[in-house]
Amino acid sequence: MPTIAGLVVAVGLAASCEQTAREPGAAAAGLAAAIAEVEAGRKTTPLIVQPAGGGDALVTFLVESPDGRVPRIVSDVTGWGERTADDTFDLAAGTMTRVDSTSWYRLEAQVAPGARIEYLVVHGETDYGIDPHNPRQAELHGGGPASEFVTPGYLPPRELVDAPMASAGTTVETALESRALGGSRRVIVYTPFGYREDGAYRVAVLHSGWGAAREGEAPRVLDWLIARGAIEPIVAVFLESVPPGGGDGGNGAPMRAFLAEEVPAWIASRYGVTKRADGRAILAISYGAKDALDAALAPALAYGRLGLLIPGRRLRHADLEAVAGLRGRRLRVAILAGRYDAANLATARDARAALAASGHSVEYMEVPEGHNPATWRNHLGDVMVRLFGTPRRP
């Protein structure tokens, strides 16, 4: 994959377009030269120009369409076309403009410094694919690859870049029989390096986080944070809350009973963990944010900490209004939001306001990324530090 430095080379190539913006002929020549470099395989797309004085970068997407179909760029910054009101799609989102009489098309966007952006190229209504001139890819939410670029200033998370820790914790895969959900659920339990069965470790439960533990990213993040003293050693439980075959997994009362009653009891019966609710956290990603909030506020008083990672709009304003009536609870909350998560950003901001107004301690992070697996994985460490460590990142 190209490095940040490699992408910045493209900045110099595209800079001629910016410097000659007042001279249409020269600008067109600069763009033609950039396209020739892309066609020759010497440069990649998109082109990125970072102003010398700082501020947002100018990103120019370039796509070739020899058959004359006008392509689109659906992305974190140009919109994926989602209409939140009725869950339909705008099939004109990200429509590109032809470059003179060539077979190439362009689309420009302003993007914040240090951003990481995912996108797809669309031909017609259903032909979604990666950018053939950008070798950098990420895992698209829902499966399959997406093209990706970063703007100057982006720093990948050290915990996923540094070599794995020698003092690594242990993961064990098992199953939890749930009466509430009517079946078993796979579970991966992380215990820290040097774990003692007679300990009273704090606990993090990640709702629908089984895949992240199975792939290794989440345990690696915990190893890194613990080894550097950013958080104390903890026990983490990664749940396959929704069965492999899909379905809703038991929304509402069944899921609340599973998360707030069955899971804490199961952990306490098998591991040396704290009995105090303020030492336990429930975290969820996207769709599961509503379930995590329900579990944190359930009468069982199982959790004193709540982590919402890019919460999805299934968490309605009415759910958050109900929080105001529970004045006796005081949660420590960490919320991760994506600045370019157009469909769900309002939900994250609403959650911050409602929880803070109800007296909960809320730390809110808004990063220049979108709604995808890489965003929450890259910032899981930030959320864990805010729930279990000091307010500052190590």
Residue-range domain boundaries for the chain: 4-150, 158-388
pLDDT of 392: 46
Of 147, 152, 88, the C-alpha closest to 117 is 147
pLDDT of 326: 67
Whether 18 has a pLDDT exceeding 50, the answer reads no
Q: What is the rounded distance in angstroms from the CA atom of residue 86 to the CA atom of residue 370?
A: 21
Average pLDDT over residues 301-313: 95
Whether 302 has a pLDDT exceeding 80, the answer reads yes
Q: How many CA atoms lie within 13 A of 304 on its CB side?
A: 11
Model confidence over 229-255: pLDDT tens digits? Answer: 999 999 999 998 776 655 555 578 999
Model confidence over 26-61: pLDDT tens digits? Answer: 667 789 999 999 999 999 999 999 888 889 999 999
pLDDT of 26: 60
Instruction: Give residue 22's pLDDT band: very low, low, confident or very high (50, 70, 90).
Output: very low
**Dihedral sign of CA atoms 88, 148, 51, 61 in order:** negative
Q: How many CA atoms lie within 13 A of 27 on its CB side?
A: 10
Average pLDDT over residues 364-381: 95
Residue-averaged pLDDT of the chain: 87
pLDDT of 68: 87
- Could you give the percent of the chain with pLDDT greater than 70? 87
pTM of the model: 0.89
Model confidence over 255-270: pLDDT tens digits? Answer: 999 999 999 999 999 9
Instruction: Give residue 114's pLDDT band: very low, low, confident or very high (50, 70, 90).
Output: very high
pLDDT of 9: 34
Class of domain 158-388: alpha beta
Class of domain 4-150: mainly beta
Instruction: Give residue 24's pLDDT band: very low, low, confident or very high (50, 70, 90).
Output: low
pLDDT of 5: 32
Whether 150 has a pLDDT exceeding 60, the answer reads yes
Q: If you count DSSP H runs as helices and E runs as strands, how many of each does the chain have, helices first?
A: 11, 19
Please classify residue 82 by burial: count the beta carbons closer than 10 Å to its beta carbon, then call 0-12 exposed, 13-18 middle and 19+ buried.
middle
pLDDT of 10: 39
pLDDT of 377: 92
Whether 85 has a pLDDT exceeding 70, the answer reads no
pLDDT of 210: 84
Instruction: Give residue 213's pLDDT band: very low, low, confident or very high (50, 70, 90).
Output: confident
Per the CB < 8 A criterion, the answer to whether 194 and 165 are in contact is: no
- Look up residue 79 and give its amino acid: G
Of 316, 320, 308, 310, the C-alpha closest to 373 is 310
